[in-house]
Each structure stands twice: as structure tokens, then as C-alpha cells.
Amino acid sequence: LVRVAIADSGIGIWDSFRLNDSPHLLRIRSHLDAVQVALEPKVSSTDHLGFGWGQSVNAGVGLTLLKNLSVLMKGSFVLASQSGICSLAQAFELPDNSKLNGTLCPMSFQRSRLSQFADLLYMAKQQVGLISTDDDFPEMFE
Amino acid sequence: MNERISIASEFGQFCADGGQASTFRLARLELLLSTCDKLILDFDGVRNMNSSFANALVAPLAALYPDLQNQLVFANCNQSVRVLLIAAVQLGNSRNRDVVT
């Protein structure tokens, strides 16, 4: 197995939705809700901010992409933020006295699948709608 | 008038900082797109890029400039960079449609 983990000590996912006054807050009542909403494709705490005049350029697909990639690579995936934890198999809330300060995302991939990594990454991107085959703008490339 | 910018000269061979890309877009690219006929972003020497960088660099331009496809050119992209730039243009176009509708 190849194991990778990304962690931060920030405010966590729920507070990030709160900080940006996200409309997704209507669906969030717990840290677990926040983690599960964050794993939906094209959801981010800033996706309601039009980037034509603001700063948001977040497609909201990074976490979903990693989760799908972990499945395609026959590995594992966990997203934990404060007391909310979601893996490929289960989702649950930790007791308050053992919550994580920040966000943690450990994942693993089968080493035997590494040779297919580029193709599987492309497939995962298609699954989350990051890449469409409708138009690849050939006129923009030289 | 055409303008060519080397992305590797600005950001190196690994482009991964969306904040830097956003600042660069606002400070340089939007101005150039308003003043030159064709803007060429040359990715020669860029080995890899993440989607945050590509989206910050390109997606807002696609949302702001409806004629972007005739004004902006990506040169010397490797396959992984090309895929991310296509996705960024698609993201910008979809946001543009969202604003219009």
C-alpha cells in the first residue's frame, strides 16, 4: 500500500462553511453533516461566491476526487474534521472530548495500481464533473 | 499586438499555489487581455500543475471574457497541464452560464 495523509490545524469544515456564510449551512447541523456535505461533488464553502467579481475559484471537487480516486485505486479514504469522521465504509461522530482540532484526510492506494494512476485520475475527474468530453477547446492550444 | 508570457519563468516547473495564480491573473492577465489582441501563455518548462492553480489562473477569465477562446492561447502544454486547463475553461464557462441564467 501507498499511504498519504494531509492534515491541518485550521478551523475545520463546519466553521469554514460558517465563516463564508455558505448556503450549504442549511443542511448542516453537526461536524459529521459538514464532512458529508463537503464530500459531495461541486460543493465548497465558497462555491456561492461568483468569481467574476470575487475571489472564489474553488470548484469544490478536491475531496470528492480523492475519495473516488481511492476507490479506483482499491485503497482507503477517511475525512475527519473536528468530531465528524467519514470513511468509505462508515460515518460517525466522535465524542467532544476526543475531537480533532482541524481537518485530516488519510488515504491509501494499492501499489499495484500505481502504473494506472494517470488513467484512473482522469476517470475520477470525469466522475466528479471536473472534465467534460463535450469540448476540449483545440483552438486554444498550440 | 500579441503578448507571450512564460509561466515557468513566473512560477517555476511545479505550479501549485492558487493564491499566487489569482494575484497574477488580476495584476497581469486581465490587463493584458484588455489591451492586446492575443495573449499566449507559454507552459514550456512546466512539469506539473494542480487544479487550484489552473482554476485560479484561467476560470475567472473564461467567466469574464466571452470571447476568451479567440484571445487566449496555451502553448507548449504537456498532457496533464492541458487537461487541467481544459477543465478550468469549462469551469469558467459553466459559471458564466450560471450568471447569465
What's the complex ipTM? 0.90
Alpha helices by DSSP H, listed for A20-105, are 31-38, 62-72
Under the banding of pLDDT at 50, 70 and 90, the label for residue B64 is confident
Element (H or E) spanning A83, and its range? Answer: none
Q: Do residues A12 and A31 touch, judged by C-beta distance below 8 A? A: yes
Whole-model pTM above 0.80? no
Chain A to chain B Cβ contacts (< 8 Å): 67
Strands (E), A28-131: 76-81, 84-87, 91-93, 103-109
Q: Tell me if A52 and B96 make a contact (CB, 8 A cut-off).
A: yes
Average pLDDT score over residue span A62-87: 94
Q: What CA dihedral angle connects B12, B18, B20 and B21, to 10 degrees?
A: 80
Contacts of residue B21, defined as CB under 8 A and 6 or more positions apart, other chains included, come to B11, B15, B52, B53, B54, B56, B57
Residue A57 pLDDT level (bands cut at 50, 70, 90): low
Q: Which residue of A has its CA nearest to B65?
A: A52
**Phi, psi for B82 (deg, rounded to 5):** -60, -45
Distance from CA of A12 to the nearest CA of B (A): 19
CB A61 within 8 A of CB A130: yes
